[in-house]
Amino acid sequence: MADIKDETKFEAEHVDHPLPQDPETGRRKRHANTQLDDAARILQEQGGQVEYTVEDRNRVLRKIDIFVCIPMCMVYLLQQLDKGTVSNAAVFDLRESAHLQGSQYSWLSSCVYLAQLCFQPLSSYALVVFPVKYWVMFNFIAWSCVTICTAAAKSFTGLLIARILLGAFEATILPSFVLITQMWWTRREQSYRTIAYQVANSCAAIFGPLLSYGVGHANSSIHPYQAIFLCMGALSLGCAPLVWYLLPNSPTTAKFLNKGNDRLIALERLRENNTGTKSSKWKWNQVREVYTDPKTYMWAAMYLCTSIPSGGFGAFSGLITKGFGFSSFQSILMQIPTGVIGIITLLIAIFATNRWKTRWIVIAIVVLFPIAGASAMVKVNRKSPGSLLAAFYVAYPLAGIQPLLYSWANLNAAGTTKRVVVFATMFVFQCAGNVIGPQVYLTSEAPVYHTGLYVDIGCWAVLFLLIVSMSFYLKFLNRKQAARRKALGLPENLEDMSIMTTEEATKYKVNLIEHMKEHGLDEAKLYENAFDDMTDFENPAFIYVL
């Protein structure tokens, strides 16, 4: 563990250990992993001793943010630009130019997520057995090419094929980024980095309409919607070399960590997570644990309830505002504030999370805004476009719900295979919701879309109840973990350092070690399982985040 020698010096010590015992039976846990992951192996090869200062720690963190967080933000921004092209193109008469009938436009949005749903198992397996950088780059380049080729599609069949391929190649990005975040940052830092690339996602709602507005004014021999696909795809493909240069595979192989003890410092920082970095072995016992864990089904239900509304709003936002009585160019510009609202929501939410030291309350409050906005859109007089637009914007903090759920869910699972499978399961339900969402916006109800709005309000109401229920369940699990630690001779009441500042966490760790010494407890045992590829159920030192 990282032991504090003075205010600026840390000493890391790795301790070999046997399999943990079940406090109730006294037997070794049958499913505990017996192999250390790559991080623990490297630390062992260096003798388990790493000395570094606070300045060294901060310097390494800055490097990680530059070489890992920045390319993640770029990829996420470009992915959302490519995915959102069909919504922007719809404002410029995509349906009329491609002769789309009935629900065909809805299926152009739904099929993307249906493809992601089908390809998710392959993506989950690939994330465990393949280097994550190469898998991400393959899919990144592939979907950029698909977006460019979509410009050649002039019928529903061609557009449908292109969108299915886009969904298949984009299926891996969000699960990949969740895994990368867990590999590189402490739990205290993960929320900020998750919010960072989700802010980039919201930036797409600003840049996408601006680019579409400019392209839509261009005089050319092709339809405006075709020019939009060409522009977005070319921009994405042009950024691929920079992302390739920056993005590393893992902390154990990153070239930018070759200086001095930078690699060892980067690895040692992660010990307090008790989640390891990445194991390249697929473990079926962790898969079984996923589907016996009630949290999995609760997260899945949350993702379904938030993605049904976001899928419908995302696909029809341009058509909704156009239905308020605005022109095509006015409607596309009306989408820009939605991105700003998403960014503001995320920034306020992360500030409130740090202030209140809790996540579930913040997310529950954010959910109330889209309920209010959608309810107003149903009731406001259709002859008052200003009031309708105001209600539309009140609903758009919905853009912050999914990122906040990502951040919360990421912190409550451990074990490489379990983390990947848990998120894959949630992503499956998210894709299912995004498939359903556009289908409840009936063409016959345009431009009001009453059915879609009523379904969305119901989903947000259920989501609110699920968030509250999850908070009670996580409290129960933490009490259970405390009893296990007491039986194993560890401190019973541990606090969650992921919601503390660095200074608070450092002070708490010093006091904790002193407390353990005073009570004759072995301080080395606290993080001895930190780099074992153990699940949150297996590791008694794991703390669930509320």
Q: Read out DSSP for 405-423?
A: HHHHHHTT--SHHHHHHHH
Neighbour count for residue 31 (Cβ, 10 Å): 16
Give the contacts of 41 (CB within 8 A, at least 6 positions apart).
Answer: none
What 8-state DSSP symbol labels residue 495?
-
What is residue 5's predicted lDDT score, i.e. its pLDDT?
38
275 CB-near residues (< 8 Å, 6+ apart): 182, 187, 413, 414, 415, 419, 530, 536, 542
Euclidean distance between CA atoms 245 and 191, whole angstroms: 25
Which CATH number characterizes residue 86's domain? 1.20.1250.20
> What pLDDT is stored for residue 521 in this prediction?
60
In a domain, 436, yes or no: yes
Which position has the token pair 């010990």? 271
Q: Does residue 543 form part of some domain?
A: no
Structure tokens of 448? 């009001």
| DSSP classification of residue 28 | B
**What are φ and ψ of residue 451, in 5° steps?**
-60, -45
Output the CA angle 240-241-245, nearest 5 degrees. Answer: 115
Name the token pair of 377. 């859109």
Residue 348 falls within a domain, yes or no?
A: yes
Whole-prediction pTM value?
0.73
Residue from 179, 153, 177, 180 nearest 165 by CA = 153
Any bridge partners for residue 11, and if so which? 3, 51
Quote the pLDDT of residue 208. 84
Both tokens assigned to 485: 């630690």
Buried b (16+ CB within 10 A) or exposed e, 273-300: bbbbbbbeeebeebbebbeebebbebbb
pLDDT at site 64: 93
Max distance between CA atoms of the chain, in angstroms, equals 80
Answer whether residue 327 is part of any domain.
yes
Domain with 146, as residue range(s), is 56-256+267-477
Element (H, E) at 9: strand 9-13
Number of domains comprising the chain:
1
Instruction: Give the amino acid at 533.
Output: D
**What DSSP designation does 22 have?**
P
Helices (H) and strands (E) in the chain, counts: 23, 3
Residue 71, domain member (yes or no)? yes
CB 436 within 8 A of CB 445: no
CA distance linking residue 47 with residue 352, whole number of Å: 42
Q: Structure tokens of 3?
A: 């032991």
247 contacts 69 by C-beta, under 8 angstroms:
no
Alpha-carbon dihedral sign for residues 530, 282, 535, 117: positive
What's the CA dihedral at 357, 363, 368, 371 to 10 degrees? 180
- For tokens 């969650």, the residue is 496
Q: Residue 377: what pLDDT?
A: 87
Helix (H, G, I), strand (E, B) or coil at 79: helix
Q: CA–CA separation, 18 vs 29, rounded Å?
A: 10
Query: Is residue 102 domain-resident?
Result: yes
Please report where in the chains the tokens 């379990």 appear, as a residue.
418
CA-angle at 97, arms to 90 and 320, nearest 5°: 25
The β-bridge relationship of strands 49-53 and 2-4 is unpaired
Q: Is 358 in a helix, a strand, or coil?
A: coil
Q: Examine residue 520 and state whether it is found in any structural domain, yes or no.
A: no
How far is it, in rounded angstroms, from Cα 374 to Cα 120?
A: 31
Q: Which of 211, 160, 430 is nearest to 336 (CA)?
A: 211
Question: What's residue 17's pLDDT?
Answer: 35
For the stretch 13-19, contacts whose Cβ atoms lie closer than 8 Å and that sit 24 or more positions apart, written own/partner, are 13/48, 13/49, 13/524, 14/40, 14/43, 14/44, 14/48, 14/531, 15/48, 15/524, 15/525, 15/528, 17/525, 17/528, 17/529
Domain presence at residue 505:
no
Cis peptide bond N-terminal to 337, omega within 30: no
Residue whose C-alpha is closest to residue 382's, from 466, 313, 449: 449
Which residues are CB-contacts of 188 (< 8 A; sequence separation ≥ 6)?
497, 498, 499, 500, 501, 502, 505
What are the backbone dihedrals phi and psi of residue 271, each rounded to the nearest 5 degrees, phi first?
-60, -40
Contact 82, 147 (CB under 8 A): yes
3-state secondary structure of 174: helix
DSSP β-bridge partners for residue 53: 9
Per-residue model confidence as pLDDT tens for the chain (546 residues)? 344 333 333 333 333 333 344 444 444 443 332 333 566 666 666 555 567 787 888 899 999 999 999 999 999 899 888 887 887 787 777 878 888 888 888 888 888 888 888 887 787 778 777 888 999 999 999 999 999 999 888 889 999 999 999 989 988 888 888 888 878 888 778 778 888 888 887 888 888 888 887 887 766 678 888 888 899 899 999 999 999 999 998 888 888 988 778 888 888 777 655 555 555 567 888 888 889 999 999 999 999 999 999 887 776 776 777 777 777 777 777 888 888 898 899 889 988 887 888 889 999 999 999 999 989 988 887 777 788 888 889 998 988 898 888 878 878 887 778 887 888 888 889 888 888 888 888 878 877 788 888 999 999 999 999 999 999 999 999 999 888 888 877 777 777 766 677 677 778 777 777 777 766 665 555 555 555 667 778 888 788 988
